[in-house]
Structure 1
Amino acid sequence: MIEHHLDDDMLLHYSAGTLAEGWSVAVATHLALCPLCRTNLAMLENVGGYFLESQDAGKDDVTASWQSLRARIEAGEIEKVVPIKKHTAANNTYPEPLRSYIEQAGGLKWRRLGRGAAQMIIPTDDNTTTVRLLKIPAGQPVPEHSHEGSELTLVLDGSFSDEVSTFARGDVEMADGDLMHQPRASAGKDCICLAVTDAPLRFKSRFVRWLQPLLGI
């Protein structure tokens, strides 16, 4: 049962195609797992469609609007939209569209971070965010940290707890500079997460901050 969802503002931006690709990967992957957020997205899209239809635009206006939209896409003014694919049993831990990104990167390639933790950077065409898979060993914490910018964490397997709540498969946690936390994987199973950030983490430990450039976090 997913308890922590995307907010309407992020769903609205996703629906409008105004999210950067990194955020879109995480949103689309959560939507593949979450029937409630898919329902909310459909409602937002229906409302947007109603307002578009009620504008009473003529054929020439529609053609001009489409040409303008296509020109913005080709010019890179609108970020890549990542499609949703509903989760099936065959998706296992990594549902689409995340699975395709992993395959395009040559498959899972974990890089050790120390104390059993590991990460894999997911390549995208988006230079405003970093998309990574994180593996936290069962029962182990990550170093206490805050954030220079925003971070979206989506649990794919296992669970973790922090100062906010407990997050399990499909749950999303949004964090920013106002939150200082130390996520800890639950006992009995490694926690695998998809994390998207738009700035480096802000670690409390001086030693971890010294290692940060080497670890790429």
Structure 2
Amino acid sequence: MDIKHHLSDELLSGYAAGTLAEGWSIAVATHLALCPACRSRFKQFEQIGGQLLDAVEPQKLEASTWDSFKDRLQKTPQSREPSAPRFEIKQPAVIPEPLRSYVDGDLPDLKWKSLGRGAYQVPIETGDSETQVRLLRIPAGKPVPEHGHGGRELTLVLSGSFHDGTGLFARGDIEEADADLVHQPIASPDGDCICLAVTDAPLKFQSWLMRLVQPLIGI
């Protein structure tokens, strides 16, 4: 497996700090399970974070300062959003952990839902209200409708490959798209392409027909 498309420093540092939402964390951790190069970079971010914590000198709080701090905590609304999870990185499989636990199995166990034109999805439930997470299966040689993005999109290839004008993405490769990218991924002709896709906003389809059915397919 020759992975050519890797995680950005922003995503790795956010994952190391535990600040990513659950959906992004699933994509990052699953890529790390497949990519030795990014695992090595991730360890460096963890080491940097540990060194920064060690360099912080604890400050002695006066009684009045502590009382003020407790008072602020009591008055601050507590968020009900779940904290971003941290995942143990395990040996890669067709669907590696942590994603395998989210879908309760491997490819033969999945219950695909039709999107039309031979494409399928498996929506993945999380405790995260910020992102939407799904598996996508695109038929060999077929395109995804051309679209832009209302926010960020992470696409991690688990099986097969696709190309979209920015490059070829195969197993383990991850593509990070934003509002500046309009593309039309096309699955390679040698087999279906199965991807993990995480978004934080609806896609912006160029076709009026796709915009019409978009509420029905939930993408």
TM-score (structure 2 length as normaliser): 0.86
2:204 counterpart residue number: 202
Aligned partners of 1:26 and 1:152: how far apart in 2?
7
1:192 counterpart residue number: 194
1:16 counterpart residue number: 17
Deviations 1:115-140 (A, max 9, x none): 11100100000011000000000000
Deviations 1:8-57 (A, max 9, x none): 11111111110000000000000000111111110011111112112243
CA contact (8 A) 1:15 1:45 kept: yes
Moved beyond 4 Å, runs of 4+: 74-78
- Alignment of 1:82 with 2:83, yes or no, is no
2:73 counterpart residue number: none
Question: Which structure has the larger Rg over C-alpha atoms?
Answer: 2
- Segments of 5+ residues of structure 1 without an aligned counterpart are none
Structure 1 vs Structure 2 CA RMSD: 2.3
Distance 1:76 1:179, change over 3 A: same
- Segments of 5+ residues of structure 2 without an aligned counterpart are 71-75
Deviations 1:116-174 (A, max 9, x none): 11001000000110000000000000100001111000000000000210000010101
The alignment partner of 1:134 has SS state of: strand
Total equivalences in the alignment: 203
Q: Cα distance, 1:80 vs. partner?
A: 2.6
Aligned partners of 1:167 and 1:84: how far apart in 2?
25
Aligned partners of 2:144 and 2:88: how far apart in 1?
30
- The equivalent position to 1:138 in structure 2, one of 137, 140, 143, is 140
Listed as ranges, the matches of 1:31-50 within 5 Å are 31-50=32-51
TM-score (structure 1 length as normaliser): 0.87
2:159 counterpart residue number: 157
Letter in structure 2 aligned against 1:31: L
CA contact (8 A) 1:158 1:191 kept: yes
Letter in structure 1 aligned against 2:124: I
1:213 counterpart residue number: 215
Q: Cα distance, 1:75 vs. partner?
A: 5.0
The alignment partner of 1:39 has SS state of: helix
Distance 1:55 1:101, change over 3 A: same
The alignment partner of 2:184 has SS state of: coil
1:116 counterpart residue number: 118
The alignment partner of 2:104 has SS state of: helix
